[in-house]
Structure 1
Amino acid sequence: MVLSRFWLAIFISSIAFVVIGLFSGSSYSIDYVLNGKKDEPLLISEKYLKQVPAFIKDSIEKAPDNTIVINKIETDLDTTYVYKNQTVKIYSGIQKSDGLLPTCKNSLLDLILPLIAYLAFFCGLMELLIISGAAERLATKLSPVFAKVFPTIPKNHESISYMTLNFAANFLGLDSAATPFGLKAMESLQTINPEKEKASDAQIMFMCLHAAGLTLIPTSIIGYRAAENAANPADVMLPCIITSFVGTIAAFLLVGIKQRINFKSASLILALTTILAAIAGLLFYINGLDLIGKNFFTGNLSGLMLVAIIGFTLVFSFVNEKKFTQKDTTIFDTFVDGAKNGLNTGVKIFPYVMGMLVAISFFRNSGLFEIISNGISFTFSQIGVAKEITDSLPVAMLRPFSSGGSRGFMIDAMRSFGPDSFTGRLSCIFQCSAETTFYVIAVYFGSVNIRNTRYTLGMMLLVDLICVITAIMVASWFF
């Protein structure tokens, strides 16, 4: 209900803002909201040739293609004059996001189709884990801990192994693997959900822990920093880990209090201590490496672990091949059946993803998001928050809505202020330490047709806020 109302609110407010802007004269055309593409120039006016300044008229007439560009300096937006069909079209600035129709198209071609491919492969592997008995063994080992965190899940339930694989994939920065594992976990949790259209406590806990985005190796962030010629691309790794770890603990405590979980369990304390010790140990090892060693380690650990998961699944399936024979199937046929399930899941979630992305696109292109973002930055600056922080806030604000949009702001912050500036580093930490909340809710709950998400959205946004505050504190401490 909350997600539905929020979706309606941003859609209707954005439409109203666009229409008001058109009739008030603050915008010239609304076609860009419907058909425009990201980074295309925006049409701001149209005049007859005699109405433009004389020096511009002369320049247009002399230009071979009747097009001139003025104000071409890196710190300002270019203004382009195009003479065509007896009128001069004036363009200035660039579009923030794809329009409504291109977003519909791109959500299928650029997002859903690659996602379906990932789902098909990893769901095939998960089917092998199920038939071979590996998932059952993993669930048995982890049941004592998961029984405390997810008290409504039956002992040794298969969802435990799927959630473990999802957390592990996120931990190692394996986004392509994390989503299929997470969707399979949601499907498994749905089988024990008594109210099929209403999110269960276990599903909410899983979503909020997933949203915190606990990450050990932020490979993509390091890659972007290296591309921007940072002195030490991996210097934000430890702040990213600390911020995401704090967010994960906060998610667990907040949701646990809401669900009245017993925090005094010895097995739970032992598990948290073990995780913390493992992270500390790895950080201690990585910190002892030189720059080349860090780049080599961080660049290969995630890939090596993914190869290890694939290799283990295939070898374990081969060793337990008799279990496949007992079910009158083969290892390859089982993989194919699992891949088909992944394809069906991808088709099912497409409408949910498209609906959310279109609303976000409208929100950004309307200009309403930019006004809200600037207003918040101005408010923070007036109460004494440093400009270095307010300059990076657009990344934090956009992160719950759009990973690509916030990534664009992060790259722009590094280019504008420098990758080794406080703003550039803080933007990277913001990008790494939170999840694309609205996209995740649309994908995960959409995959199991849950309409009532209860308090999931509010709790995930609160976790995002905690991650933002923690990121600022950690960045101030380190840099």
Structure 2
Amino acid sequence: MLHRIWLAFILSAFIATLWQVFFNDHIGSFKDVMDAVYSMAKLSVDISIGLIGVLAFWLGIFQVAERSGLVAKLSIVLEPLLCRLMPEIPKGHPAIGSITMNISANVLGLDNAATPFGIKAMQDMQSLNTSKASLTNAQIIFLVMNTSSVTLFPIAVFLYRAEQGAVNPTDVFIPILLSTFASTMVGLLVTSWVQKINLFNRVIFLYAAAVISILAAVIIYFSSLTAQQMSTQSSIVANSLLLTFIVIVLSVGAFKKLNCYELFVEGAKKGFELAISLIPYLIAMLFAIGMLRASGLLDMLMGVVASGVNFIGIDNRFVDAIPNALMKPLSGSGARALMIETMQHHGADSFAGRLASVLQGSTETTFYILAVYLGAVGIKHSRYAVACCLAADLAGIITAIIVAYWFFG
């Protein structure tokens, strides 16, 4: 599935470039697209090199945590739920612990910790994989949870809105949480339907009720804070939890008379090797995305959407933020740039500016995550993972548009 989408990106970008040259007289389009290819190739290496330190550090800490038995204890929190969503993972398997750590980091918005934990989870699940070239059902549902994960503190969006002069930068907080929650729920529902997982289970229902309660409590508390207060408090909570975790891991390891230094170095070596191995997968995906952007295809799609909406005769204010929705699954930096450009052009407190902000926080960069996580375990066949992840993205986009009209219409 993924290789077909990859080829479709490249061929579509090539056709769009030909259109620009022969019908729009943009002679420089070929150069623009090739410049984008070279730029994305360089960016792929920069990303991988940038990941070396982060991966090495967290995989080193995780090695100590795993050997000390802490990860196994932490996995107790989510084990009943994960064993029902991912029945092929046995109880007590190391994958449960690494998945728990990844989900926790994602919820807190800690991308620098979530990615190493996510890669570790994919590797742990790969040890159970009987067909090493294809994703397992558990890996697919894990990927869906990552590409649509609920982040309680979308601080970056608030800070960008503040920089662009928004009167109340956090007024998109509740719409973002509603959108990302809808994205996650739809992703899980679609994947569970494909995998024939029974979601009408007492344990799953209790976990869902707990998540909704926590989400409601967070909304009630943080919606009354300013952007600066929210940034400060969420930063304190997230970073204090991370630092406490590191200290506890090393302390428990020392108490159990483990050689924490040697274990840390052993895990860090894996992080270095892993970061380098990701480069080919990132180049393959990012250069195709760069071609799409440079060819003008996304602008063409926006024009088609605008024409269709005008023809139907419905409120078309959401069209100005559609480029952000189309870009987010492809490129996080590209979507961020489009969000800022939308706020600069229309105003941070305009409908388009607010909707672009909600879209930015509602989903993750699907194809980047797929490239990194599949590359980390050398998987070539994604099966139906892309379709399920994109279904979650679509749900997040539609919900973002609906709640934007509800809150700001």
Bin the TM-score by the shorter chain: over 0.9
Shift of 1:195: 1.0
Q: Displacement, 1:25? A: 6.8
SS of residue matched to 2:78? helix
CA offset at residue 114 of structure 1? 1.2
Structure 1, unmatched stretches of 5+, are 36-98
Higher CA-based Rg: 1
Which of 382, 385, 390 is the aligned partner of 2:311? 382
> What's the TM-score once normalised by structure 2's chain length?
0.95
Please, which of 82, 85, 89 is the counterpart of residue 153 of structure 1? Answer: 89
SS of the aligned residue for 2:187 comes to: helix
Decide which moves more: 236-245 or 364-373: 364-373
Instruction: Determine helix, strand or coil for the equivalent of 1:392.
Output: helix
Q: Please say if 1:459 is aligned against 2:395.
A: no
Aligned to 2:241: 308
1:295 to 228, 242, 245: 228
Point out the more displaced range, 358-367 or 259-268: 259-268
Structure 1 Cα separation of the partners of residues 39 and 78 of structure 2 = 45
Q: Residue 49 of structure 2 contacts residue 276 of structure 2 at CA under 8 Å; is this kept in 1?
A: no
1:273-422 matched pairs, under 5 angstroms: 273-287=209-223, 289-291=224-226, 295-325=228-258, 330-422=259-351
Aligned 8 A contact 2:302 2:319 in 1 = no
Does residue 188 in structure 1 map to residue 139 in structure 2?
Answer: no
- How far off its partner does 1:466 sit? 0.7
TM-score by length of 1: 0.81
Contact 1:377–1:393 (CA under 8 A) maintained in structure 2 = no
Residues 136 and 158, structure 1, Cα contact 8 Å, conserved in 2: yes
Inter-partner Cα distance in structure 1 for 2:218 and 2:378: 39
In structure 1, how many angstroms separate the alpha carbons of the residues matched to 2:169 and 2:290?
31
Query: Counterpart of 2:247 in structure 1: which amino acid?
Result: L
Q: Which residue of 2 aligns with 1:31?
A: 31
* Equivalent residue number for residue 71 of structure 2: 135
Q: How does 1:161-200 map to 2 (within 5 A)?
A: 161-200=97-136
Q: Tell me the SS of whatever aligns to 1:27.
A: coil
Any stretches of 5+ residues in structure 2 without a counterpart? none
User: How far did residue 420 of structure 1 move?
Assistant: 0.9
Alignment coverage as a number of residue pairs = 407
Question: Alignment partner for residue 172 of structure 2, among 226, 236, 242?
Answer: 236
Instruction: State the secondary structure of the residue aligned to 2:40.
Output: helix
- How far is the alpha carbon of 1:160 from its aligned partner? 1.4
Supply the distance in 1 between the matched residues of 2:23 and 2:185 (Cα, whole angstroms): 48
SS at match of 1:215: coil
Please say if 1:438 is aligned against 2:367: yes
2:94 partner letter: E
Q: Letter of the aligned partner of 1:377 in structure 2?
A: A
Q: Distance in 1 between matches of 2:299 and 2:257?
A: 56
Amino acid at match of 2:274: T
| Distance in 2 (alpha carbons) for counterparts of 1:273 and 1:205 | 20
Deviation at 1:32, TM superposition (A): 2.7
Aligned amino acid, residue 106 of structure 1: L
Q: Which residue of 2 aligns with 1:81?
A: none
- Identity fraction in percent: 34
Q: Which amino acid aligns with 2:25?
A: S
Asked if the contact 1:119/1:339 (under 8 Å) is kept, the reply is yes
Q: 2:49 aligns with which of 105, 110, 113?
A: 113
Q: Distance in 2 between matches of 1:452 and 1:213?
A: 23
Give structure 1 regions of 4+ aligned residues with deviation exceeding 6 angstroms: none
**In 2: Cα distance, 1:340 partner to 1:384 partner:** 59
Shift of 1:20: 5.3
1:260 maps to which residue?
196
Cα distance change, pair 262–22 in 1 and its aligned pair in 2 (3 A): closer
Question: For 1:320-360, what per-residue CA distance to the aligned partner results, in whole angstroms no more than 9, with x for missing partners?
Answer: 425453xxxx2122112111111111111111111111111
Highest relative contact order (Cα 8 Å, sep 6+), 1 or 2?
2
Q: C-alpha separation between the residues in 2 aligned to 1:25 and 1:464? A: 32
Q: Offset of 1:381 from its aligned partner?
A: 2.8
* Contact 2:110 2:238 survives alignment (8 Å): no
Task: State the distance in 1 between where 2:225 and 2:199 align.
Answer: 40
Post-superposition offset of 1:213: 2.5
